[in-house]
């Protein structure tokens, strides 16, 4: 007997579209991060969802191994690779920002009369005539931490998932029990992923400006959650339809905030554009872009 139209739509078309839309959702911040890497700072980007994204994709990949669901696997393998790149970029930018803040602090102290330059044995390191005309100076920069806040978030997410997967793999459990454990944990992780922009939403309501809401991510979240919600109902899997229902609601809430405060967002973008110096103006800002290029190539 030929498969029914309902089966074709809900069990094949919806999850296939879900795979494509999930990948597009995970890739939505890529262009924005590339722009921020060129500029040398995160700006308004909130990288916290990217750390949660890594755990989310790891969890769903583990769940797909247990349930033999190729649609779930195909939707999360690209997301895992994308999230790793996003997290690398966020860590680089956070470290650069922290280092530059420390450097500016030290230079500010120097301007106030606290010397940060020292030249021990200046005569011996000079040109040999004792006048120290070729002194070498050492800049004493405050040490910075070996890790930045976002890096610690990613590490904690990885530690948690390694511990959970190790427990499930090495404890005597049935396959159903393994599915239940991974399913519950990955649902919690996915809810955190969808709820990560909550702090952004609170800030939008406080400032009445939607400039910090990532439009492409919001649109893709709504579409992606809708198709996975339909697929979850089709295969009667609450571990799929419950978190995606949550994601759909959060996506709609962000879209409503964009509609309510979108005009303020456009005004903020226009004001920021006016503050940018014209290209080739020779006012010294070109040096910053050159530094960003050097950072991006590292």
- For 135, the 3-state DSSP assignment is coil
Q: What is the pLDDT of residues 78-135, one digit of tens each?
A: 999 999 999 999 999 998 888 887 777 777 766 665 544 444 444 444 455 545 444 4
Highest mean pLDDT among 3-7, 74-78, 130-134, 272-276: 74-78
Query: Average pLDDT in the 269-288 region?
Result: 44
Q: What is the pLDDT of residues 123-150, one digit of tens each?
A: 444 455 545 444 444 444 456 667 888 9
| Number of helical (H) and strand (E) elements in the chain, helices listed first | 12, 2
Q: What is the C-alpha to C-alpha distance for residues 119 and 271, in angstroms, rounded to an integer?
A: 46
Q: Which comes out higher in pLDDT, residue 236 or 3? A: 236
pLDDT of residue 145: 66
Q: Which residues contact 93 (CB under 8 A, 6 or more apart)?
A: 36, 37, 40, 41, 42
Contact (CB, 8 A) for 203 and 8 = no
CA 180 to chain centre: 28
pLDDT of residue 28: 87
């Amino acid at each position: 007997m030929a498969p029914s139209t309902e089966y074709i739509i809900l069990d094949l078309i919806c999850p296939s579209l879900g795979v494509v839309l999930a990948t597009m959702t995970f890739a939505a911040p890529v262009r924005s991060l590339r722009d921020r890497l060129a500029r040398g700072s995160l700006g308004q980007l909130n990288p916290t969802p990217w750390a949660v994204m890594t755990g989310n994709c790891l969890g769903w990949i583990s769940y797909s191994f247990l349930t033999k669901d190729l649609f779930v696997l195909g939707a999360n393998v690209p997301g895992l690779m994308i999230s790793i790149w996003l997290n690398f970029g966020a860590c680089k930018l956070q470290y650069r920002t922290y280092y530059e803040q420390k450097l500016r602090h030290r230079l500010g102290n120097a301007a106030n009369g606290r010397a940060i330059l020292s030249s021990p044995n200046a005569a011996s390191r000079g040109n040999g005539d004792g006048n120290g005309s070729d002194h070498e100076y050492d800049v004493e920069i405050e040490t910075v931490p070996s890790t930045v806040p976002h890096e610690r978030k990613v590490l904690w997410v990885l530690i948690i998932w390694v511990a959970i997967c190790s427990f499930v793999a090495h404890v005597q459990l049935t396959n159903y029990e393994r599915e239940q454990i991974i399913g519950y944990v990955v649902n919690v992780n996915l809810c955190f992923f969808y709820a990560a922009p909550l702090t952004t939403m609170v800030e939008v309501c406080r400032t009445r400006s939607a400039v910090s809401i990532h439009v492409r991510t919001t649109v893709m979240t709504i579409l992606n959650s809708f198709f996975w919600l339909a697929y979850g109902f089709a295969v009667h899997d609450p571990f799929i339809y419950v978190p995606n229902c949550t994601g759909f609601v959060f996506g709609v809430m962000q879209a409503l905030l964009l509609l309510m405060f979108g005009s303020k967002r456009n005004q903020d973008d226009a004001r920021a554009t006016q503050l940018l110096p014209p290209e080739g103006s020779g006012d010294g800002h070109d040096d910053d872009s050159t530094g960003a290029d050097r950072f991006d190539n590292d």
